């Protein structure tokens, strides 16, 4: 039986780990990121992969930094035939990449060479793409640049957010890996070099990418809101206070209105003018210091003072 070390961290990775266990592969260990403080109370919380691995009775290894660590030596000592990674969150050192006889595979949430990097799902939605997918690839020293083994395409709906697409891509990646692994193990798989000239990049989301620029077209604002929902969440300001925007839809604008101007609060929705004459309807939001809520509830309560002509900045 093929001996595998699995490396992954978020919810995206959990169905993949579970599938490997159900298929009967010999899982030597699950390697994941350290527990992190979460929420306002900074409660130390294990990553989802750790929770699933413990449920399955697997050893867990949590290196703070893999390169040069005791945890790296521990992984190497396990002598796996194959390493499978899925959103692990760290670069694998060369000595680990070269150790398994069958190589190191990565389940990457894009159609490589597009969207190399740590936020391919966010970026595909923010760019307004109508399709993305999952790639099973051999890992290389350069980020997400290894040879492609298999791919599957996944459509993106016009109102899909990152959380929804995250789940569908995880399911698609799990199925694709299940179908691909037998050929990798028996040496009959394809190995297609990437066209590096066509590579695009999707680095981890930065704070400045979260702030809404209302001078952008309405479609771009809508894509930003859904691309950053449910994490890290797009935001704007009203009366000097931060307002997070969770869910939106595209709408028609109002002649003569300026970007960021509230042009309607009818039907329990805030409609905001964008920069190209179109607008965005805000369906869910989160005022500063409050929980996420539907816009209707906000307008009937803490936001009852908001009126047409007020402006988000």
Block residue for tokens 């990437």: 194
User: Do the annotations mark residue 110 as ligand-binding?
Assistant: yes
Which 8-state DSSP code applies to residue 201? B
User: Do the annotations mark residue 82 as ligand-binding?
Assistant: no
By the 8 A CB rule, do 269 and 275 touch? Answer: no
By the 8 A CB rule, do 311 and 236 touch? Answer: no
Residues whose CB is less than 8 angstroms from the CB of residue 73 and which lie 6 or more positions away in sequence, other chains included:
none
User: Do the annotations mark residue 111 as ligand-binding?
Assistant: yes
Strand partners, 279: 251, 273
User: Do the annotations mark residue 72 as ligand-binding?
Assistant: no
3-state class (DSSP) for residue 114: coil
Q: What is the DSSP string of 236-297?
A: EEETTEEEEEEEEEEEE--TTPPTTBEEE-GGG-EEEE-TTSEEEEEEEEEETTS--EEHHH
Phi/psi at 122 (5° precision): -55, -50
CA dihedral 277, 278, 281, 286 (to 10 degrees): -60
Report the binding-site residues for (6S)-5,6,7,8-tetrahydrofolate.
110-113
Report the binding-site residues.
110-113
């Amino acid at each position: 039986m093929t001996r595998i070390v699995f490396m992954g961290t978020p919810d995206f990775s959990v169905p993949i780990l579970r599938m490997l266990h159900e298929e009967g592969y010999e899982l030597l260990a699950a390697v994941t990121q350290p527990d992190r403080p979460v929420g306002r109370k900074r409660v130390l919380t294990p990553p989802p992969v750790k929770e699933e691995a413990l449920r399955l009775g697997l050893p867990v290894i949590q290196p703070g930094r893999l390169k040069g660590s005791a945890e790296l030596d521990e992984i190497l000592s396990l002598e796996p035939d194959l390493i499978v990674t899925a959103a692990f969150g760290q670069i694998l050192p060369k000595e680990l990449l070269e150790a398994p006889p069958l190589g190191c595979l990565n389940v990457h949430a894009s159609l490589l060479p597009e969207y190399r990097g740590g936020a391919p799902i966010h970026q595909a939605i923010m760019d307004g793409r109508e399709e993305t997918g999952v790639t099973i690839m051999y890992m290389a020293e350069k980020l997400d640049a290894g040879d492609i083994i298999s791919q599957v395409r996944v459509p993106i709906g016009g109102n899909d957010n990152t959380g929804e697409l995250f789940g569908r891509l995880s399911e698609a990646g799990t199925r694709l890996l299940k179908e691909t692994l037998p050929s990798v193990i028996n040496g009959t798989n394809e190995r297609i070099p990437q066209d590096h000239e066509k590579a695009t990049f999707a680095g981890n989301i930065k704070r400045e990418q979260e702030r809404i620029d209302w001078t952008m077209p309405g479609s771009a604002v809508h894509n930003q809101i859904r691309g950053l929902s449910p994490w890290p969440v797009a935001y704007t300001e009203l009366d000097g206070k931060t307002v997070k925007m969770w869910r939106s839809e595209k709408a028609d604008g109002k002649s003569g209105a300026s970007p960021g101007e509230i042009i309607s609060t009818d039907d329990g929705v805030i409609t905001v003018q964008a920069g190209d004459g179109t607008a965005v309807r805000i369906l869910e939001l989160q005022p500063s210091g409050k929980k996420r809520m539907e816009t209707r509830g906000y307008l009937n309560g803490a936001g009852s003072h908001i009126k047409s002509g007020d402006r988000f900045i």
